Every structure is written in structure tokens, then in C-alpha cells.
Amino acid sequence: MIDIHCHILHGIDDGANDLAESLAMARYAYQDGICHIIATPHLNIHYNNTRAYVQNKTAILQKAFDQNNIKITLHPGCEVQLKSKQTLYRQVEQNEFCFLGPDARYVLLEQRWTDYDPETPEIVAWLLARGITPIIPHPERHVFFRKQPELINQLVNAGAWTQVSVDSLLGNNSQEALDYANHLIAANHVHTLATDAHNIKRKPSLAIGYEYISDRAGKARAAEINARCYGVISSKPN
């Protein structure tokens, strides 16, 4: 399996604290059946994890995996929080952050926690016109998406993808998040599944999430989601 959203790089956001924690997360992930991890540190008002910095940190941690015989391939990425349309357009045009995958084809684009950005449909259209698919992390955790499901429907119908977090399926976020995640599964609006792991408590557990999807929506759906996640790191167009 591949985890497309994980805060495994240590000391650069609220994810792993130190190398030991990054390695513990990686060992846990490997045991779970994860062979690829896209490292997605935050890029928001608190953390400025720009492209070259994340690429360098990813290469350093990959070396540590290799030295410790942990057979996981790390890929540089980023969880970009939407600040404003202007900021995002500049970040994209100036290549300021790491897209997910080898080419500029996917961005993990997080909403603010406080309020929905009403310009999101326009932003999604702008990205798609450039061949970039926005992946919206954990919509089930945002109150405004739960209260107004039409917001996600509009973005998905336009071509955006969602990423549901395994913790939400386990009920670790809230009952509301679990209920909305179930709704997304029923509506076939779960495009990708990831851990959003931050440490060894908020851990990189993915297999149980695929089992959950499989139980609720069938094995074929789980396989489809897994294949779509692998597609993110392939260089073939979607």
C-alpha cells in the first residue's frame, strides 16, 4: 500500500518529533503493509515547508531508512493550506511547494479549519485547467463540509478528489466525522485513503481502513482506491 498523506519528516511541523519517532512510524507502517509514503508536512501560517527544504529532508530520511533496513520508499510532498486564491496561484506558478508525485499533477489542498473558502470552486477549476488535480484532505473532519455536503459535491463534480483519513473510519476523530465518512463512502466520493499520521499514537495504520472500505463498499472499491493512490506516484497521466 501507499500512504499519500503522512507527517513523517521529523522536526519540521507537528508530526514526528525526532529521527527515532520517524523510524518508529516507518517500522509501524511497513508492518502494516505500506511500501511507499508521501511525506506531506504542513505549509500554512505556522510552517513554511517549501519545495527544496522538503526534498532535502525527504532525501535525508530516506537515507536513514536505508541504513536501518526499512524497506519504504519516501516521496516528497506537502499539505498546502489554502490561505487565499492569490497566495495559492503564486505558490503554484513559482513552484514553491512539493506536489504529490513526480510531476506537478496532484496537490494536497487543505481548507482552513475556521471557514470554507468560497473561492474554492474557482481555485479547483484553475488547477484542473493546468492539469493539476486537487486532493482535499479529510473533508469529514471539517464542520462546514459536514453541515453543507453540497460543497464537496460541487468540488467533486468539478474534478477534485477527496482523501478520507483512516482515523475517521475508526471513530477516532468524532462520531460526526465517522458518519460523514460513511456518507462519502456510500456516495462513492472517497477517491483516496491515507493515514495523516503525525506520530506513533496518531499512527500510520492503513490496512484497517481498506478493510473498512471493503466491508462497506466491496473489495473492488477498495482496490480502485488503492490503485488511484498508486497512480499519484506514477508518471502516467490520470
Footprint of Fe ion (CB under 5 A): 79, 196
Nearest distance, CB of residue 67 and Fe ion, angstroms: 27
Q: With respect to Fe ion, which residue has the nearer C-beta, 32 or 79?
A: 79
Question: Could you tell me if 112 and 81 are in contact, meaning their C-beta atoms sit under 8 angstroms apart?
Answer: yes
Q: Which residue is nearest to Fe ion (CB)?
A: 196
Nearest distance, CB of residue 230 and Fe ion, angstroms: 20
Q: With respect to Fe ion, which residue has the nearer C-beta, 77 or 231?
A: 77
Q: With respect to Fe ion, which residue has the nearer C-beta, 140 or 196?
A: 196
Q: Where are the beta strands (DSSP E) in 177-234?
A: 192-194
Beta bridge partner(s), residue 43: 48, 80
Cα 90 to Cα 133: distance, rounded to the nearest angstrom = 17
Q: With respect to Fe ion, which residue has the nearer C-beta, 32 or 196?
A: 196
SS3 category, 101: coil
Q: With respect to Fe ion, which residue has the nearer C-beta, 6 or 131?
A: 6
DSSP-derived secondary structure letter, 48: B
Nearest distance, CB of residue 14 and Fe ion, angstroms: 9
Q: With respect to Fe ion, which residue has the nearer C-beta, 111 or 120?
A: 111
Nearest distance, CB of residue 42 and Fe ion, angstroms: 7
Type of residue numbered 104: A
Cα 81 to Cα 42: distance, rounded to the nearest angstrom = 7
Cα 54 to Cα 51: distance, rounded to the nearest angstrom = 5
SS3 category, 102: coil
Residue 224: partners with Cβ closer than 8 Å, 6 or more residues away: none
DSSP-derived secondary structure letter, 230: H
Nearest distance, CB of residue 37 and Fe ion, angstroms: 13
CA 41 to chain centre: 10
Q: Which three cell numbers stand for residue 167?
A: 482515523
Nearest distance, CB of residue 81 and Fe ion, angstroms: 9
